[in-house]
Structure 1
């Protein structure tokens, strides 16, 4: 996963307040519950020295932006020097409400959540009609783009001599009804393919989910292949045909997206294990730190489990540096301590490294490692 979307959080030289809060709205008293949870975090931030202006701007942002009106979700907010730096809606509530006041932002919950929610395109398709919806990487109130398409059908067409003069073919210039129908369905899906390609480009979709008529889906695959669109296409249950079919489609797409994300994480984990055997990766916190500090990490791998997370040292002047001791920094006198994940992710962001969540048996782990840009540890 590309961490570039986090880079603006490191532009402030002042300390940063980071808040990760469950903002689910599944009960009648949800607003009151959110208020109480925030009040606890606000008191904690105040005790750490957070200024009043920063606390106020955080309070104004709670429940705003793309935070959904209902369902289970969360928010990650970042503010500094009285200015809101970013507000991210989380697809899942944080495992624990958390607030920090540090020289750098605490971004692990956002990175983990973003890695579990890829941009995708959803297509409900039959041989005449289609509904194309594009969803961005970040959770939002609704889709980024949505199109309803209606193609041609056989009503009013002479299937034995399709069209007018100059448009005859087949044996003795005559078509069978099956040939005409197939040609028309191909034409319809060609138009759908154009919209799908545009939707993929709009959100940077990493996968396309399609539900509906099997033959129309086959034609759509052919049309997308002709347009050299190599985004994976996965067929899911549901499609067109009323609210029930559409509901099944969305439920199936959500499950398929979860499986697709897990398969991607498993692929990276397998690559990581292969490269460990050839000194092209490192495992554990201490072996990973010099690789990050030397900008040699291609992909940082971190588990989302934060219990007993160690504190490490960072530099205010050299953001890629991270070490076990203050003497590992460029200036030990200005070095500061922060949670390991916060410092390691800052280093990865500022050295343009990627990120993947490490899991164990499908559950969050405490493991840390890195796949290297260059072979050998030198």
Structure 2
């Protein structure tokens, strides 16, 4: 999982307020229930000394019908809302917390099961391109639909070759437009997978026009169609299967890399050694076991890479006022700052510790 989207969140100095709230609106009394849940969270945060104006900003967001979603994560500081994201399901547990860093790990763990991806259903007329964020939000665009002939004549006659050439030209233009739209949306979304279905000939034309960065992420769906009457149930099952397989394969690949490089200064295990390697900018992949109950702590400084188990290491770097913070959030901030990827692994996947890393 790339963490670039979190960089703006860390630009403001703490403290931060982190709220995870069930904001579902699937019943007549849902709005009142959201307000009650928020009231309990607000009282908890006020007891921790969070200022009323910050709490007012969060309250306005989480109780708004315009921001309705099954769940919502909100991170705020003294200047207001720093980042918010709707959740595709209610949070695993409600959280209302103030601390030096935003408590982003639950958000990332919930995101891990939802791969940001594009679904492209193409035919000679163009394509339907649907982007799905890690939060489950969807955005659909249509490309093509040139009003000139899109089918070859299939007949003889002097004019047939000319009409066939016109149709082929339309196909090529539509494929080019679709490729440009797919590449633009893939970059904007940070898509990890691009699922392409539809007419086989159009698929081939589209794939030929995609750049290698996007083409390497393509999974072809053989029996998906763009036509309105096409069955969607089996297609959705295949899509879910493809995304699940991709996510599982990504984790397995990371664990395999870890195990192959173990013991040759290519990996590290444990909170303290991993923090040190992050500080040195040597971590390529941060491997975390998702344990919401974990209470390990690390020392942090104002700069994202300043993270250590031993406060003396930060003082040697000139950090005059180190702070203690949750280890998972401190490590995630360091990974974000240094361009490391985050991968959640299972406790029995063979990394030897709840915190490990593959080194650069």
Distance in 2 (alpha carbons) for counterparts of 1:39 and 1:194: 50
Cα distance, 1:53 vs structure 2: 0.8
Match of 1:54 in 2: 54
1:293 aligns with 2:276: no
Match of 1:199 in 2: 182
Cα distance, 1:223 vs structure 2: 4.0
Match of 2:117 in 1: 120
* Per-residue deviation, residues 255-303 of structure 1 (Å, max 9, x unmatched): 4223322222222222122222432011222221211122221222222
CA contact (8 A) 2:150 2:170 kept: no
The list of structure 1 runs, each at least 4 consecutive aligned residues, that deviate by more than 6 angstroms after superposition, is none
CA contact (8 A) 1:206 1:232 kept: no
SS at the partner of 2:231? helix
Distance in 1 (alpha carbons) for counterparts of 2:244 and 2:25: 22
SS at the partner of 2:339? coil
CA contact (8 A) 1:17 1:105 kept: yes
* Per-residue deviation, residues 193-218 of structure 1 (Å, max 9, x unmatched): 53144223223233222344xxx225
Match of 1:97 in 2: 94
Distance in 2 (alpha carbons) for counterparts of 1:189 and 1:66: 41
Match of 2:22 in 1: 22
| CA distance 1:154–1:82, shift in 2 (3 Å) | closer
Distance in 2 (alpha carbons) for counterparts of 1:28 and 1:327: 56
Distance in 2 (alpha carbons) for counterparts of 1:308 and 1:79: 23
SS at the partner of 2:139? coil
- Which blocks of at least 5 consecutive residues in structure 2 are unaligned? none
Match of 1:83 in 2: 80
Instruction: Give the TM-score, by structure 2 length.
Output: 0.82
Cα distance, 1:55 vs structure 2: 0.6
CA contact (8 A) 1:55 1:82 kept: no
| CA distance 1:236–1:54, shift in 2 (3 Å) | farther
Match of 1:106 in 2: 103
How many residues align? The count is: 349
Match of 1:172 in 2: none
| CA distance 1:246–1:86, shift in 2 (3 Å) | same
Task: Find the partner of 1:268 among 254, 262, 284.
Answer: 254
Matches within 5 A, 1:1-378: 1-62=1-62, 67=67, 73-126=70-123, 128-139=124-135, 141-143=137-139, 145-147=141-143, 149=145, 152=149, 154=151, 157=153, 159-161=155-157, 163=159, 167=162, 188=171, 191-192=174-175, 194-204=177-187, 205-212=191-198, 216-229=199-212, 230=215, 231-235=217-221, 238-242=224-228, 245-246=231-232, 248-316=234-302, 318-330=303-315, 334-360=321-347, 367-373=354-360
| CA distance 1:146–1:301, shift in 2 (3 Å) | farther
Segment drifting more, 331-340 vs 104-113? 331-340
RMSD: 3.4
CA contact (8 A) 1:304 1:366 kept: no
Distance in 2 (alpha carbons) for counterparts of 1:366 and 1:37: 36
CA contact (8 A) 1:18 1:105 kept: yes
Cα distance, 1:184 vs structure 2: 5.3
SS at the partner of 1:117? coil
Distance in 1 (alpha carbons) for counterparts of 2:63 and 2:225: 33
Match of 1:376 in 2: none
Distance in 2 (alpha carbons) for counterparts of 1:335 and 1:39: 33
CA contact (8 A) 2:128 2:143 kept: yes
CA contact (8 A) 2:126 2:142 kept: no
CA contact (8 A) 1:67 1:140 kept: no
* Per-residue deviation, residues 308-351 of structure 1 (Å, max 9, x unmatched): 331222123x4312222433322676222111111111222222
CA contact (8 A) 1:303 1:368 kept: yes
Distance in 1 (alpha carbons) for counterparts of 2:321 and 2:42: 27
Distance in 1 (alpha carbons) for counterparts of 2:65 and 2:201: 39
